[in-house]
Amino acid sequence: MKNNGNEKIEISNVGSFMAGGLAACIAVTLTNPIEVVKTKMQLASKHTHSGAKVLQSAVNNSVQVISRNPIKVMSDTWKAGGMRAVQRGLIAAYLYQLSMNGIRLGLYGPVAQEVPAMVAGAIVGSAGAFFGAPLQLAKTRLQAQALHSGTKSTHKGGAWVVLKNVYAARGITGLWRGVNVGMVRCTAGSCVQQPAYFAVKGWFSNKYGWKDSIPLHFLSSAIAGLAVGFAINPWDVVLTHMVAHPGSSKGGMIACMANIITHEGPMALFKGIEAQLLRIAPHTVLCLVFLEQTKRYIGTFENKIHKSSKFEAAEPLAIITPSNIKVNSTDIA
């Protein structure tokens, strides 16, 4: 039966988990090149007189000049290695999105029924960051190779080889390097996103009479995404350094942050903010758009299976309509 847009659709928690992960994977396909650029800019450590940034390679001690313009960094990366270079770490990014956003979106509803929305966002954000930490590590190390696109890959075989090598060298704890920073990062983003999103949405509704519609969701999500970008970038820089440069994590999160500030100044914590903002806003909006669609398709499929087999689900199904789908957009960033 075709959906006319007003029909109620039921979806299970498992279906919601799958829909969230799938939506995030579709979105990250489009935003991963910006993530590569962000990683590249965040690892830049010194400045030349011309204002460009100089990167000291953690792989072979080579030096590479990096522009402050994310568009130029993207162009240079493409020229050096083509599609393969700008989409470095895409498979690891898929696995990371599936684990992190599947957990976040799957758990957010039940948790939000017990605690305030902002607290629920922080809880599921931390949980997603914890379980996705090994894949975040693999993704960052693979993307860092885009810095040296002219050299041979040191991680042939992708994410699995990265994880295997880290485990062999540092054991199980090595796979969770920087997990505390990742959890702080996600918590900071979750706490900022909710007030920003609803404040913007309420302001446009009250001031200009905007209806609760997709354009309003897009605009509110985009502006909230910008706020989230500034909130998470300092922790993102620290996390990138800790997982890309193993030696930088001695002493833990605070020591790594202090080391960056001491050698490069406080503004070093906002390295790559241009690319961060270019990534977080469209990624948030894309996830919201795709999430509504994936939830609708998966919910429809589940209901067809349920009706045809008269299967009684082990878990309650949540009824969703276009007007009552609520998503914590930071939890899919």
Nearest by Cα to 186 from 228, 154, 135 = 228
Banded model confidence at residue 234, pLDDT cuts 50, 70, 90: very high
Prediction pTM value: 0.69
Q: What is the mean pLDDT of residues 233-237?
A: 90
Q: 79-122: per-residue pLDDT in tens?
A: 888 888 888 889 989 998 888 877 776 677 778 788 887 788 78
Q: What is the pLDDT of residue 2?
A: 43
Q: Is the pLDDT of residue 56 over 60?
A: no
Mean pLDDT (the chain) is: 76
What residues contact residue 14 under an 8 Å CB cut-off, 6+ apart?
Answer: 106, 315
pLDDT at residue 53 greater than cutoff 60:
no
3 found inside a domain: no
Q: What is the pLDDT of residue 3?
A: 46
Task: Look at residues 30, 16, 177, 184 and name the one whose alpha carbon lies nearest to residue 93.
Answer: 30
Whether 197 and 216 have beta carbons less than 8 Å apart is answered as: no
CA distance 189 to 233: 10
Give, to the nearest 10 degrees, the angle between helix 214-244 and helix 252-264.
90
Distance CA 106, CA 102 (A): 6
Domain-located, residue 121 = yes
Alpha helix locations (H) across the chain? 13-42, 70-86, 90-112, 117-144, 159-174, 179-208, 214-244, 252-264, 273-309
End-to-end CA distance of the chain: 33
**pLDDT tens, residue by residue, 288-312:** 678 778 888 888 888 888 776 654 5
Is residue 113 one of the residues assigned to a domain? Answer: yes
Name the residue with higher pLDDT: 319 or 26: 26
The predicted structure's pLDDT at residue 24: 86
The region that residue 62 occupies, defined by phi over 0 for left and psi between -120 and 50 for alpha, beta otherwise, is beta
The answer to whether the beta carbons of residues 126 and 140 sit under 8 Å apart is: no
Q: Which of the residue ranges 22-26, 155-159, 177-181, 276-280 would you say has the lowest mean pLDDT?
A: 155-159
Distances 51 to 10, 41, 47, 68, 206 between C-alpha atoms, Å: 55, 13, 6, 8, 44
Question: The tokens 């609520």 sit on which residue?
Answer: 326
Q: How many domains does the chain have?
A: 1
Domain with 176 in it: 9-332
Burial status of residue 219 (CB atoms within 10 A of its CB: 0-12, 13-18, 19 or more)? middle
pLDDT class of 63 with cuts at 50, 70, 90: low
CA dihedral 306, 308, 309, 310 (to 10 degrees): 60
Output phi, psi for 63, to 5 deg.
-120, 135
Written as six digits, the tokens of 196 are: 């920003």
Q: Are 37 and 123 in contact (CB under 8 A)?
A: no
243-264 pLDDT, tens digit each: 776 665 566 788 888 888 988 8
What is the tens place of the pLDDT at every residue in 167-187? 998 889 888 887 888 888 888
- Residue 152: burial class (beta carbons within 10 Å; 0-12, 13-18, 19+): exposed
**pLDDT of amino acid 252:** 78
pLDDT digits (tens, 9 = 90+) for 121-171: 788 888 888 998 899 888 888 887 655 544 444 455 678 888 898 899 888
Query: Checking phi first, is residue 310 left (phi over 0); if not, alpha (psi -120 to 50) or beta?
Result: left
d(CA 101, CA 91): 15
Q: How far, CA to CA in Å, does 153 sit from each of 158, 181, 215, 320?
A: 9, 27, 43, 46
pLDDT, residue 152, reads 47
Indicate whether 232 belongs to any domain: yes
pLDDT score, position 150: 44
Average pLDDT estimate for 261-287? 85
Query: What's 132's domain CATH number?
Result: 1.50.40.10
The answer to the question of residue 1 being in a domain is: no
Kindly state the percentage of the chain with pLDDT values over 90: 4
- Residue 2 resides in a domain: no
Q: How many CB atoms lie within 10 A of CB 67?
A: 17
Residue type (1 letter), 212: D
